[in-house]
């Protein structure tokens, strides 16, 4: 390519050599050095007047030095009268800090975008931004390339029986990325999420009776008519008066509770009062529709309704509603609920249900609450684990009330901070005094699983997700796949030692030292993707073809 110069930063010189080999030209000459106090000095040693300049500088382990070096090189090329300056940043630094995580936090990714604009950049080429909305931070065009076609091509050529595999997201935030790969390969997908709340019967914090919405229903779905002082005060303010009953009853006696239909069916004359006198036209108390959802094997909800055909054996069944046998009612289950599996995580690893809990297990709200059974007794233990779909519903409901506030997971009324990020999730998994619950949604039994995210920095959540799909879901093999392999600390060694992980697949957008590479690591090259993007950008061609999957 004529009238073009490609300069290499110090972060990833091997990648720049591969790009230049594909484009058939040599890297531009530039002197990069540091002063004794750590300051960076850049000297461009070739003419760049009226030429298109591409500066390839990715994030590295020395992230701040890489950022300053990129800014200084852009400024130097701007001073050298370059026609256009394009920053090729395969891994964009500070991309995880693209939003405020607390009220006094900084949006560092936006600040870096402003710095690039001040330095004089005209175009930015990057791969898989942590949040695609970051493109709005820049005042210049941004080409956010994707490594998904590279990963999909590797899957087709290297994974046996990949047509029956399942693509799984290790957190809720990566669902869009996972569904995109699943659609491209025409595969099913699933989600693995972790939560500090325990779906466990030894602590009464998670039960049907602790939800504020379902607080008026007993364990079997029966309605509790006892009014709390707060409810009585609200009804008094709303001027709601209870209907006048022609008889008296005791609230504590569940068998004498009147139904709202009773005043209509009651005679106009008041029957004589007596201790043993009970109204003959009393209608049994209505049961909640949740009773049938809570206890699937119970058909008492059908028997308690006087207007159903089952209550009168002599009445013929309705012609449009065929009579249902008791065995059909008892065997009814929700097929979707079978694909929801819960597990316990202690120190980032799956443990059995009878494993002792840590001494300081974290619970929503911090304190243990007691549940009210239908008989009115208080209990902190439950003999039944809530059903999967009921647990999922209550988890969503109680999140706004239990975790709002400082350190909470939701923005309840604008008083809490933003939801926890992957960094907070990793800290929870590594805490030996904290027990978390992992939930797998999707059927992975006897299938190969691809756990996909945009980057691998720490190993905790990856190992936890791999153990969940293997030990709880019954999967055959697990492939951990990401675009950027940061591998902080001993991350790569820990993933290599995990017996549940078959391969770790990443690209070379982030430089990986040769001494850190292990047997399970597979590195895909992005030099072809970036070189084609540079060529098309120089000649003014469309880059839409770079997003298309090939075989």
* pLDDT (0 to 100) of residue 196: 63
At 28, give phi and psi (nearest 5°). Answer: -65, 150
pLDDT band at 103 (very low <50, low <70, confident <90, very high): confident
Spacing of C-alpha 505 from chain mean position: 21
pLDDT of residue 379: 37
Give residue 40's pLDDT. Answer: 93
| Furthest CA-CA distance within the chain | 110
* Predicted local confidence at residue 480, as pLDDT: 97
Identical fold between 4-145 and 149-198+423-524: yes
From residue 320, alpha-carbon distances to 303, 307, 316, 317, 323 in Å are 20, 16, 12, 9, 10
Per-residue pLDDT band for 550 (boundaries 50, 70, 90) equals confident
The top-scoring range by mean pLDDT among 127-141, 294-308, 416-430 is 127-141
pTM of the model: 0.66
Whether 280 has a pLDDT exceeding 70, the answer reads: no
Ordered by start, the domain boundaries in the chain are 4-145, 149-198+423-524
* Sequence-separated (6 or more) residues with CB below 8 Å from residue 298: 220, 291, 292
SS3 annotation, 136-149: HHCCCCEEEECCHH
- Residue with more model confidence, 436 or 427: 436
Per residue in 496-544, pLDDT (tens digit) is: 999 999 999 999 999 998 888 999 999 999 999 999 999 999 999 999 9
Residues 436-456: what's their mean pLDDT?
A: 92
Cα–Cα distance measured from residue 124 to residue 142, given in angstroms and rounded to the nearest whole number? 5
SS3 408: coil
Q: Say whether pLDDT at 208 is over 50.
A: no
User: Could you report the per-residue pLDDT of 287-325, keeping only the tens digit for each?
Assistant: 544 444 444 444 444 444 444 444 444 555 555 555 555
Please state which CATH number belongs to domain 149-198+423-524.
Answer: 3.40.50.2020
Instruction: Give the model's confidence band at 113: pLDDT under 50 very low, under 70 low, under 90 confident, else very high.
Output: very high
- Band of the pLDDT at 101, cuts 50, 70, 90? confident
The pLDDT of residue 183 is above 50: yes
Alpha-carbon distance values, 368 to 199, 505, 547 (Å): 13, 43, 51
Distances from the Cα of 412 to the Cαs of 208, 367, 388, in angstroms?
A: 22, 19, 25
In 3D, which of 307, 249, 240 has the Cα closest to residue 273? 249
Q: Which has the higher per-residue pLDDT, 386 or 151? A: 151
Of the candidates 207, 230, 232, 205, the one whose C-alpha atom is nearest the C-alpha of residue 218 is 207
The token pair at 65 is: 């030095």
Q: Which position has the token pair 């619950």?
A: 437
Average pLDDT over every residue of 177-198:
86
Tell me the sheet residues that pair with 416: none
Least confident stretch, 42-51, 191-200, 387-396, 463-472: 387-396
What's the pLDDT at 427? Answer: 65
Q: Is the pLDDT of residue 1 over 80?
A: yes
Q: What is the mean pLDDT of the chain?
A: 74
**Res 406 pLDDT > 90:** no
**Per-residue confidence (pLDDT) for residue 512, from 0 to 100:** 93
Tokens, residue 148: 């998904």
Q: Is 392 in contact with 337 (CB distance < 8 Å)? A: no
Looking at the DSSP bridge assignments, the partners of residue 53 are 5, 85
Q: What is the mean pLDDT of residues 445-462?
A: 93
Segment 209-216 mean pLDDT: 43
Look at 128-137, 162-171, 190-199 and tell me which has the smallest mean pLDDT. Answer: 190-199
Question: Region 77-85: what's the mean pLDDT?
Answer: 95
Q: Say how far apart CA 527 and CA 536 lie, in whole Å.
A: 14
Question: What distance in Å separates the CA atoms of residue 146 and residue 374, rounded to the nearest whole number?
Answer: 56
Half-sphere exposure of residue 179: CA atoms within 13 angstroms, side-chain side: 8
Give the CA-trace dihedral at 134, 135, 139, 145, to 10 degrees: 130
Ramachandran bin of 74, using left for φ above 0, alpha for ψ from -120 to 50, beta for the remaining angles: alpha
Q: Note the CATH architecture for domain 4-145.
A: 3-Layer(aba) Sandwich (3.40)
């Amino acid at each position: 390519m004529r009238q073009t110069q490609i300069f290499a930063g110090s972060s990833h010189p091997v990648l720049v050599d591969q790009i230049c080999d594909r484009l058939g030209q040599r890297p531009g000459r530039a002197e990069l050095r540091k002063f004794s106090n750590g300051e960076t000095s850049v000297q461009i040693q070739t003419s760049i007047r009226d030429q298109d300049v591409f500066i390839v500088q990715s994030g590295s382990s020395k992230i701040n030095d890489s950022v300053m070096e990129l800014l200084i090189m852009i400024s130097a090329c701007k001073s050298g009268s370059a026609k256009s300056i394009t920053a090729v940043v395969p891994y964009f630094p500070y991309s995880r800090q693209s939003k405020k995580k607390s009220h006094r936090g900084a949006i560092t990714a936006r600040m870096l975008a402003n710095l690039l604009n001040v330095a004089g950049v005209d175009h930015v080429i990057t791969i898989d931004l942590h949040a695609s909305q970051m493109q709005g931070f820049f005042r210049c065009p941004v080409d956010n390339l994707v490594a998904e076609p590279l990963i999909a091509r590797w899957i087709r050529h290297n994974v046996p029986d990949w047509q029956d595999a399942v693509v799984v997201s290790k957190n809720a935030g990566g669902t869009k990325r996972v569904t995109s790969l699943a659609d491209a390969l025409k595969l099913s997908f699933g989600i693995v999420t972790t939560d500090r709340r325990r779906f466990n019967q030894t602590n009464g914090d998670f039960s049907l009776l602790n939800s504020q919405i379902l607080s008026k229903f007993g364990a079997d779905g029966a309605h509790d008519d006892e009014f709390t002082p707060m409810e009585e005060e609200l009804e008094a303010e709303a001027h709601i008066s209870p209907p006048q009953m022609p008889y008296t009853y005791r609230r504590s006696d569940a068998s004498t509770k009147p139904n709202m239909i009773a005043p209509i069916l009651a005679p106009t004359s008041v029957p004589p009062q007596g201790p043993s006198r009970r109204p003959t036209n009393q209608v049994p108390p209505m049961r909640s529709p949740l009773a049938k959802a809570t206890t699937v094997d119970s058909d008492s909800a059908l028997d308690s309704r006087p207007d159903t055909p089952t209550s009168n054996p002599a009445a013929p069944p309705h012609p449009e509603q065929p009579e249902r046998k008791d065995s059909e009612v008892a065997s009814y289950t929700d097929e979707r609920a079978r694909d929801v599996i819960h597990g316990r995580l202690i120190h980032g690893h799956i443990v059995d249900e009878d494993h002792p809990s840590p001494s300081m297990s974290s619970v929503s709200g911090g304190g243990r609450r007691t549940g009210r059974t239908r008989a009115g007794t208080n209990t902190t233990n439950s003999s039944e684990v809530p059903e999967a779909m009921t647990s999922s519903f209550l988890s969503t409901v109680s999140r706004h009330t239990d975790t709002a506030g400082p350190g909470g997971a939701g923005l309840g009324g604008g008083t809490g901070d933003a939801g926890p990020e992957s960094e907070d999730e990793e800290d929870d998994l590594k805490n030996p005094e904290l027990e978390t619950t992992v939930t797998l949604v999707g059927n992975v039994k006897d299938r190969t699983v691809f756990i996909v995210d945009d980057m691998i920095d720490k190993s905790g959540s990856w190992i936890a997700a791999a153990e969940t799909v293997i030990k709880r879901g019954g999967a055959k093999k697990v492939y951990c796949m990401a675009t950027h392999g940061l591998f902080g600390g001993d991350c790569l060694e820990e993933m290599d030692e995990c017996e549940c992980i078959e391969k770790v697949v990443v690209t070379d957008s982030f430089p990986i030292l040769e001494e850190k590479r292990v047997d399970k690591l597979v590195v895909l090259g992005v030099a072809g993707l970036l070189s084609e993007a540079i060529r098309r950008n120089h000649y003014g061609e469309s880059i839409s073809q770079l997003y298309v999957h090939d075989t």
